[in-house]
Every structure is written in C-alpha cells, then in structure tokens.
Amino acid sequence: MRPKLLIEGLATFFLCLACALVQGGLSPFIIGALLLALVYIGGPVSQAHYNPAVTLAFCVRRRQAWSAGAAYVGVQFLAALLAALIAGLYHGHTEENSEHILEALRKPVLEGWLPDTSAEFLGSFLLAFVILVVATSRRTVGNNYYGLAIAATVAGLMGVFGALSPDFNPAVSLCRAIEGCFSVLNCEGSVGLAIQQEVSYLAHSTPRLLLALAAQLTGAALAAWAFLGIFPEER
C-alpha cells in the first residue's frame, strides 16, 4: 500500500501545481502532456487516480476497497495542500491580487453558478467514465493507450469548457481555492492586510467551492453507475 500512496501523492502534487501555475491558451496541452506522463508512471502502481472523484468512481465500480479509497483521498488532498503552498509562494500577494479580491467580494458568490457547476459535473462524468472503460474494463484489458485516452479527455474537456475554468478534480479545486492564503508568505505590502483579504476571499468563495466539489463527486459516482448499467457483465 505504501508505494501506491506515495505515487498518488507525488503525482497529485505535480498535477495540482501545474493546474495552479499554468495559464493561457496552451494550458490544456501542457497539463494534458504532464498528465500523460504521470498516468503511465503511476498506472502500474496505483492505477493513477490523482483525483478524489476518480477514486470514488473506482470504489463505486467495486474495483477498490472503500478503506483504500479513503487513504487515497487523504493523500491526494494532502498533496493538494502542499501544491497550494508552493503555488502561493510562486504567485505571491500583489496589488493586483488585492484589486481582484475587492472586486470579487462585491459580487454575489453564486452568480453564474449553474454553468460552472454543470461543466464540473459533465466533465467529471465523462472523465471518470473514460477512465473506467480504458483502465478497468475486461473489454480493454492489457491496452497500451489508456494514458493517451485519459490525457486527451482532460485536454479536450479543458478546451470545451475553458471559458468556465473547470477542474474536474476536487484536489485541484482545493489547491486553486486556498493557494491565495499561502501567497501572503510572499507579500509585497502589509502582511496583515494581505491575510485579511485572502481569508475573506476564501470565506466568500467557499459556497462556490463546495458546489464544485459536489458536482465533481456526483458526476464521477454517476459515471460508475452508468458503466455498470451499460456493461452489467463487468459487475
């Protein structure tokens, strides 16, 4: 079990860090390429979840024990916290951060929640379904393209829903949500004011974060049920 948890933690850390740092039009390809490598190195060891929603899908699919799944999720979230710390140090807290926070605090937190939440749900559903087909099905056992399929799905979904900045991964969502709290460790101005602003922003955005996490987990669980419904012989 130890090698599985170590590879899950290491790969989830780098995936979360990439999602927090990489921006711009090429981000789907950069993150997809990194994920491709991480899936191939971790697939033979831990089945390369790197995503609490995917771990949930494996448990619902009955390809992983719930106790082992809980350990996976704990390590994934711990890796997300560490990635948020590093990303926060890289980004730092600047005047631009302060302006962004003040602007965000003036807006209703649930404004535009439906498109964002539906994107997280649909993307997580498709990602989990693809992973279950290429990594757990008897129909595809022994294939060598599972990493390509998973990375292409993530890159494609990021392209389709790119305007909404979805994550399809609770660990990544957590990392991106809290990295600002660590950015105060590299602050240009008053540290006290920066902490107050970042904590206020996190508290303000928490309902949106919880909606995203619920959508991701629900989409992944439904993907597992859909898989078992379409392929009853896989039970």
pTM: predicted TM-score of the whole model, two decimal places: 0.92
pLDDT of 38 reads: 96
Q: Please tell me the total count of domains within the chain.
A: 1
With cut-offs at 50, 70 and 90, classify the pLDDT of residue 126: very high
193: CATH: 1.20.1080.10
Residue 190 in 3-state DSSP? coil
Retrieve residue 197's tokens: 């602003």
Report, as an integer, the average pLDDT of 95-113. Answer: 78
Give residue-wise pLDDT tens across range 33-57.
Answer: 999 999 999 989 998 999 999 999 9
pLDDT at 191 over 80: no
Instruction: Identify which of 113, 118, 123 has the alpha carbon closest to the alpha carbon of residue 208.
Output: 113
Give residue-wise pLDDT tens across range 192-234.
Answer: 777 888 888 888 889 999 999 999 999 999 999 999 999 888 7
In a domain, 234, yes or no: no
Q: In the chain, pLDDT over 90 holds for what percent of residues?
A: 64
In a domain, 76, yes or no: yes
**Which is more confidently placed, 187 or 47?**
47
Retrieve residue 87's tokens: 């990303």
Domain that holds residue 140: 2-229
In a domain, 235, yes or no: no
pLDDT at 103 over 90: no
181, 89 contact by CB (below 8 A): no
pLDDT at 145 over 80: yes
pLDDT at 30 over 80: yes
Instruction: Identify which of 182, 172, 176, 165 has the alpha carbon closest to the alpha carbon of residue 15.
Output: 172
Cα–Cα distance for residue pair 63/77, rounded to 1 Å: 21
Other CB atoms within 10 Å distance of the CB of residue 209 = 17
